[in-house]
Copies of this chain bind each other. A is one copy, B any other.
């Protein structure tokens, strides 16, 4: 998902363009990894002093609903990142900087046999550690 396409999609779905939304999306576009609402707030406060958490969360969730961002829960806090372009995959997540690396192994094919009578709704496979830069 690139910035231009994300903004276009926003408009097409009938949502308004605001500088805050562009900056928020750009923030994620420029960072290949997961960030929290708090991270976003700190980044935004320079340009928009007094921006409220409400605005940030509202937009983050809107963007998740529109498929522009992805969300995962990490240590009791929601973390967001730009939606990946490529086909289904999982992530290594650096616990220091939040940067991610795509993992192209998905265990769900092998698993299906074990869950005959179950209705599977979704799954989560994440690997945590330190990236080369933070190690």
Question: Could you list which residues of chain A lie within 8 angstroms of chain B, going by C-beta atoms?
Answer: 73, 75-76, 78, 92, 95, 101, 103-108, 110-111, 114-115, 117-132, 135
Given A117-B135, A123-B125, A123-B127, 4 more contacts at CB 8 Å? Answer: A103-B115, A105-B107, A107-B125, A122-B127
B118 contacts A135, C-beta separation under 8 Å? yes
Instruction: Tell whether, in the assembled complex, residue B104 and residue A121 are in contact, meaning their CB atoms are under 8 Å apart.
Output: no
Q: 21 A–B contact pairs at CB < 8 A?
A: A92-B118, A92-B120, A95-B121, A101-B114, A101-B115, A103-B111, A104-B114, A105-B111, A115-B129, A119-B135, A120-B128, A121-B130, A122-B128, A122-B129, A123-B125, A123-B127, A123-B128, A124-B124, A124-B125, A124-B126, A125-B125
Instruction: List chain B residues, Cβ under 8 A from A127.
Output: 108, 111, 115, 120, 122-123
Residues of B within 8 A of A119 (CB): 129-130, 135
